[in-house]
Amino acid sequence: MSRRLPIDPELSQHEVPRLHWFALDRRRFLQLFGGGIAIAVAAPKDAFSQESGQSGRRGQELPKDLSAWILIDKDGKVTVFTGKAEVGQNIRTSLAQAVAEELRVDVASIRMVMGDTDLCPFDMGTFGSRTTPYMAPQLRAAAATAREELIDLAAKRWNVSRDGLAAENGKILDSASKRSLTYGQITRGEKLVKTLPAEIADVPLTPASSWKIAGTRVPKVDGRDFVTGAHRYASDIKRPGMLHGKILRPAAFEATLASLDAARAESLPGVKVVRDGEFVGLVAPDAYTAERAVDALASGAKWTEKPGQPSNATIFEYLKQNAETSTDEKRSLVRRSFGGSACGSHQNDGFARLQQGA
């Protein structure tokens, strides 16, 4: 029985159109990474498409849109591409485990390329705990497809049936002759592209009962770098001529700026203050100077606060007394806004199904 990804009401909230097409096709991709075997998804409307990107494509077939990639190069190294981002939830390790399980390689031999908009397929974002239930099965399917393709290539090389061959430790083994070929020896630098089957049921995935890597404890990928401080975060990136910005925040919600003395901030080296109505910001040559400058701005700013704003002591009572419109009231307002027209009736039905999680 084929597996289809269910429609998720949460995901539908984030639907946005694809704003730009980055034309990185098969030829350009392989030019960048050299020879090897690349596993691709060419049908974004199917279950294997990057799950966050489905709605943005409106189900259209895009022949050059390779929605998931695993590349095994001529040296047997594995590179995995995903639009998901590692933000501390450790998916760099768990996704590498999923791929390693199906490819029969060590986690350490896998390089994860995550959220690189030049190389990875479009993905709407990393949210809602969706990576493990949606992206991991997709990458497992890609890895299993790569494994089976390597077995087929080895069988052709030896002119034997594939039934007696198996993948293990980055090699294809022939149980009868005891000979073996590494993945790199099999690809021999050839540029090969294999497209995934349209249905997950057609991919020979390893059952969970046979897992040796997935679902087990392994050292965190790049864990030593995190502990020692060698890992580079976004805040560590420095570009030529790069400036650091800060925004002056109001003293209270809906407060308006009465006056501003920016002299202290502007006296700091390299600081430039920008004001546009109620907005005040600055740029500085480094993060430390930017922090000092915004503190100086705050001391020179006078705000007019709106009366009746809650404080830390009164915030909970304020929220109780100023509760937002309930879900039922919102639904009623939406229905009334459509005025019972045919279009409105259709929209109401869709809204109700969305609320019910249909």
Give domain status of residue 87, yes or no. yes
* Residue bearing tokens 């993945």: 183
Structurally, how many domains does the chain consist of? 3
pLDDT reported for residue 353: 40
pLDDT at position 181, please? 95
Amino acid at 355: Q
Q: Is residue 314 part of a domain?
A: no
Q: Is the pLDDT of residue 55 over 70?
A: no
Do 37 and 86 have their domain in common?
yes
Residues 24 and 104 in one domain: yes
pLDDT above 90: residue 206:
yes
Residue 310 lies in a domain: no
Q: Which residue has the higher pLDDT, 247 or 69?
A: 247
Asked if the structure places residue 312 within a domain, the reply is: no
Residue 320 within a domain: no
The pTM for the full model equals: 0.62
Tokens of 228: 């020692």
Query: Measured between alpha carbons, how far is 110 from 69 in angstroms, rounded to an integer?
Result: 13
- On whether both 104 and 139 belong to a single domain, the answer is yes
Residues 129 and 210 in one domain: yes
Whether 2 maps to a domain, the answer reads no
Let me know whether 178 and 293 are in one domain: no
Greater confidence (88 vs 4) lies with: 88
Helix/strand/coil percent split, the chain, to 5: 40, 15, 45
Domain check: are 278 and 136 in the same one? no
> CATH code at 298?
3.90.1170.50
Residues 77 and 195 occupy one common structural domain: yes
Residue 75 lies in a domain: yes
Domain that holds residue 343: 327-356
Cβ–Cβ under 8 Å, residues 293 and 284: yes
Q: Which pLDDT value is given to residue 130? A: 87
The residues, any chain, with a CB within 8 Å of residue 67's CB and separated by 6 or more, are: 40, 41, 42, 43, 44, 48, 49, 50, 53, 121, 122
User: Each residue of 1-34: pLDDT tens digit?
Assistant: 444 444 444 444 444 444 334 444 555 555 665 5
Same domain, 174 and 263: no
pLDDT digits (tens, 9 = 90+) for 127-165: 888 898 988 988 898 899 889 999 999 999 999 999 999
15 lies in some domain? yes
Lowest mean pLDDT among 51-65, 122-136, 248-262: 51-65
* Residue percentage of the chain with pLDDT more than 90: 41
Q: pLDDT: is 74 or 320 the higher one?
A: 320
Mean pLDDT (the chain) is 78
Same domain, 51 and 132: yes
Specify the range with the lowest mean pLDDT, choosing from 117-131, 174-188, 266-280.
Answer: 117-131
336/282 same-domain check:
no
Rounded to whole angstroms, the maximal C-alpha distance in the chain is: 86
Q: Which residues, other chains included, contact 270 with Cβ-Cβ below 8 Å and sequence gap of 6+?
A: 284, 285, 289
- Whether residue 243 is found in the same domain as residue 294: yes
> Is pLDDT above 80 for 112?
yes
CATH of the domain at 31: 3.30.365.10
- 147, 104 contact by CB (below 8 A): yes
Choose between 180 and 60: higher pLDDT. Answer: 180
Q: Count Cβ atoms below 10 Å from residue 261 Cβ, excluding itself.
A: 13
The answer on 154 and 14 residing in a single domain is yes
Q: What is the pLDDT of residues 287-315, one digit of tens each?
A: 999 999 999 999 999 999 888 888 778 88
